[in-house]
Amino acid sequence: MTKEVTYLKVLAFLDSAKWIWSGFLIVILVIGCKPGDGDKNGDRSLETVLVTSAYSSLHANSNSNGNTDGNTIPTCATTGHCIIFATTNVSGMTKNGGIAGIDNDCAADPNKPSGGGTYKALVSDGVNRRACTTASCSNGISENLNWILKPNKEYRRKDGTTVIGTTNASGIFSFPLTNSPETLANLVVTNGIATGFNADWTSNTNDCADWSTNLAGTSSTVGTWDSTDSGLIGGGGTSGCSNTHMTLCVEQ
């Protein structure tokens, strides 16, 4: 068997093996490829190219998959339950940075659970994020837009054990919930949360001008994070955008 065939077979194996074993085999290959007195420069060049190609192929495969064994790293969206928490920043939610600004509140808040994970805000502007276009999504999940609750998914409090509730096939909660999403024990400044929702999960035009302003004279619909009924998302009427409100943040 020629060196070329041998190296190519090793390369094929390296490309499918796990990183730790592949790295080990690359080292062995390099050691074993030390040329003897009779080897020619062409053989040495072939060895170098094949070893480099093996490493590059493995590195690219690892980066493209996000880990080293070709499997997608699981999130709560695909396994187990997801967490919901309320922000605790004393300055309240960011109302003048669009939905992205409120999502950033979730990412930076000190009440965010440890262990990483991506959290997005339970808010709507009807254009960039919404739950339903009809009451309680009568036409199903197709009404969702950039929505942050997953269908048929169990959600829990920050403690990881207290069940809040399970969404339906349309990706919304049917009230009442099993438990409210948050507790005062987490030092949440106020139970008021600006949402941009009506009580039936449709979007309300009172949303601080699509979350572009925190000035007086504009308002948002508000809910309360300690509610288990529709008051969670929109039963509290409206409140001025210059007031302090918290945000409910949902794990993705």
Claim to verify: residue 123 and residue 176 sit in the same structural domain:
yes
Q: How would you write the pLDDT of the chain (252 residues) with one tens digit per residue?
A: 444 434 334 434 434 443 333 333 333 333 344 444 444 444 444 444 333 444 344 334 433 333 444 456 678 988 899 999 999 998 899 999 999 999 999 999 999 999 889 999 999 999 999 999 999 999 999 999 999 999 999 999 999 999 999 999 999 999 999 999 998 888 888 999 999 999 999 999 999 999 999 999 999 999 999 999 999 999 789 999 999 999 999 999
In this structure, are 55 and 89 located in the same domain?
Answer: no
Residues 117 and 87 in one domain: yes
Residues 23 and 53 in one domain: yes
CB 60 within 8 A of CB 66: no
Compute CA 176 distance to the chain's CA centroid, rounded to the nearest angstrom.
26
State which residues form the domain around 249: 74-252
Tell me: do 103 and 187 sit in the same domain: yes
Query: Do 220 and 245 sit in the same domain of this protein?
Result: yes
Q: How many domains does the chain have?
A: 2
Rg (CA), the chain: 27
Residues 32 and 103 in one domain: no
Among candidates 159, 47, 78, which has minimal Cα distance to 113?
159
Same domain, 222 and 242: yes
Among 65, 87, 117, identify where a domain stops. 65
For the full predicted model, state whether its pTM sits above 0.85. Answer: no
Task: Give the residue ranges of DSSP H helices in 66-218.
Answer: 98-108, 208-211
| 182 three-class SS | coil
The residue from 35, 65, 95 where one domain ends is 65
Do 186 and 106 belong to one domain? yes
Q: Are residues 218 and 247 in the same domain?
A: yes
Distance CA 208, CA 221 (A): 9
**b or e along 187-221 (b: 16 or more beta carbons within 10 Å of the residue's beta carbon)?**
ebebbbbbbbbbbbbbbbebbbbebbebeeebbbb
Q: Quick one: 79 and 60 in the same domain? A: no
Q: Are 20 and 39 in contact (CB under 8 A)?
A: no
Q: Per-residue pLDDT tens for 17-56?
A: 433 333 333 333 333 444 444 444 444 444 443 334 443 4
Pick left, alpha or beta for residue 190 (phi over 0 → left; psi -120 to 50 → alpha; otherwise beta). beta
Domain harbouring 193, CATH code: 3.10.100.10
Q: Are residues 53 and 85 in the same domain?
A: no
